[in-house]
Structure 1
Amino acid sequence: MSQGCRIAVFASGNGSNFQALLEASREGRLGGGEIVLLVCDKPNAFVVERARQAGVETYLFRPKEYARREDYEAEIAARLTELEIDLVALAGYMRLLTPVLVSPYAGRMLNIHPSLLPAFPGTDAIGQAWNYGVKITGVTVHLVDEGMDTGTIVAQEAVTVEPGEDVDSLTARIHQVEQRLYPQVVKQFAEGRVRVNGRKVELG
């Protein structure tokens, strides 16, 4: 991808990673990437307010109003096409995607997950790792496929579970890593410095 990479962020909740990407874009740390759209399936989520304050267009929808996932995804895909989106970044978007969205953006759709995949996929990954008693967990950025956190791994960073800490402090430290790592990876994509070969990824 060249300079001027147009990015859509999908989010469902607080939007801390959306905010991190937005600030990186404003500060010129996304390799020319620009956040031009927020897609959110929960209109009352705080991330919507973040987007409003930043002047970022939002696409809001309620999944229960549609008969199938493919129906609302077709509408989203049409909007992404209209806005000439180059890269999609999932940031706490809590829904599996169908080929309607995955196929057009194969190799151009990222997700960030708070564990070292393939360990602890799905929801509450930090709680899963904590309850399992791991000594090391971390953060994964991966390409999106149709599975649950099964796409090709792009980048990972380990986080050591410190003696005596609780799950809240571990969560806070993992979120700090997320908010630093995700903009770095998006920058590399925006600059065209990512080469994917099957399950192997090289970052230039």
Structure 2
Amino acid sequence: MTVKSPVNGGSMTKRIVVVASGRGSNFQAVIEALQRKWIPGECVALVTDNPKAFAIERAQEAGVPVVVVDYGSYASRELYEQALLAALKEARPDLVILAGYMRILGSAIVREYAGMMINIHPALLPSFTGLHAQRQALLHGVKITGCTVHFVDESLDGGPIILQRSVRVMDDDDEDTLANRILIQEHIALPEAVRLFCEDRLTIEGRRVRTRL
């Protein structure tokens, strides 16, 4: 039996929180789509585990509040995740976007935002999960790779897939050149997935995500 689960609650303008660890180029792509009013939402916070992340500068330029939950300042992962969960709850998000967040989330956070948290991964899942997906693609000799936006569950890069974009692997590609071409597609895919979510057009049916036209 297929159980249909509504992804979100149907409010007109979604409150979006982005969680990032590094340069934040996917965060920037979402911000620009929001600024163009292409996405019916508002980015209410950038949350980062890295006080030196360049994403912080991007947020400040866009007028987005920044919350730093510095992983290195906590005595254990458990304490860090408690603080991260508290920061997310404080922002009251309708959607949490993992955009270059370089840690695996614990089950408490994943369960709290089930159906409300998405991730962008630089491979065509279910292939090449985890770190260094571009390197994995090159080592396996695939001819096509790409990026995937998916809902987050308790598996590693294994949640229901929202959308994917493909990239051809060239014979002379190295990890950097391939990563750069995939990143171009990430900047298209992530805002599109966020838009679909914010327009209440996604429904999870088991492992599949249905998109309403």
Q: Which whole-Å deviations, capped at 9, do the CAs of 1:76-129 have from their partners, x for residues lacking one?
A: 322322322110000010111112211111001000000011111111111111
Deviation at 1:28, TM superposition (A): 0.9
The answer to whether the aligner puts 1:40 opposite 2:48 as a matched pair is yes
Structure 1 stretches of at least 4 aligned residues deviating more than 3 Å after TM superposition: 163-167
CA RMSD of aligned residues (A): 1.4
Corresponding residue for residue 191 of structure 1:
199
Q: What letter corresponds to residue 87 of structure 2 in structure 1?
A: R
CA contact (8 A) 2:149 2:190 kept: yes
Deviation at 1:33, TM superposition (A): 1.3
Q: 5+ residue gaps in structure 1?
A: none
Corresponding residue for residue 169 of structure 1:
177
CA contact (8 A) 2:17 2:91 kept: no
Q: What letter corresponds to residue 25 of structure 1 in structure 2?
A: L
Local SS of the residue matching 2:184: helix
Q: 5+ residue gaps in structure 2?
A: 1-9
Corresponding residue for residue 35 of structure 2:
26
Alignment coverage as a number of residue pairs: 203
CA contact (8 A) 2:145 2:167 kept: yes
Cα distance change on mapping 1:192 and 1:164 into 2, 3 Å:
same
TM-score by length of 2: 0.90
Local SS of the residue matching 1:103: helix
Corresponding residue for residue 58 of structure 1:
66
CA contact (8 A) 2:126 2:158 kept: yes
Distance 2:87 2:147 in 1: 30
Deviation at 1:12, TM superposition (A): 0.6
Distance 1:66 1:164 in 2: 43
CA contact (8 A) 1:96 1:147 kept: no
Deviation at 1:182, TM superposition (A): 0.5
Q: What letter corresponds to residue 20 of structure 1 in structure 2?
A: A
Local SS of the residue matching 1:131: helix
Distance 1:34 1:46 in 2: 21
Decide which of 26, 29, 37 is 1:17's aligned counterpart.
26
CA contact (8 A) 1:155 1:185 kept: yes
Distance 2:150 2:184 in 1: 18
Distance 2:21 2:52 in 1: 9
TM-score by length of 1: 0.93
Local SS of the residue matching 1:73: helix
Q: What is the aligned-residue identity percentage?
A: 48
CA contact (8 A) 1:70 1:100 kept: no
Corresponding residue for residue 15 of structure 2:
6
How is 1:145-160 mapped onto 2 (pairs within 5 angstroms)?
145-160=153-168
The answer to whether the aligner puts 1:141 opposite 2:154 as a matched pair is no
Q: Which whole-Å deviations, capped at 9, do the CAs of 1:37-89 have from their partners, x for residues lacking one?
A: 11111111111111112111111122232233332222232232232211000
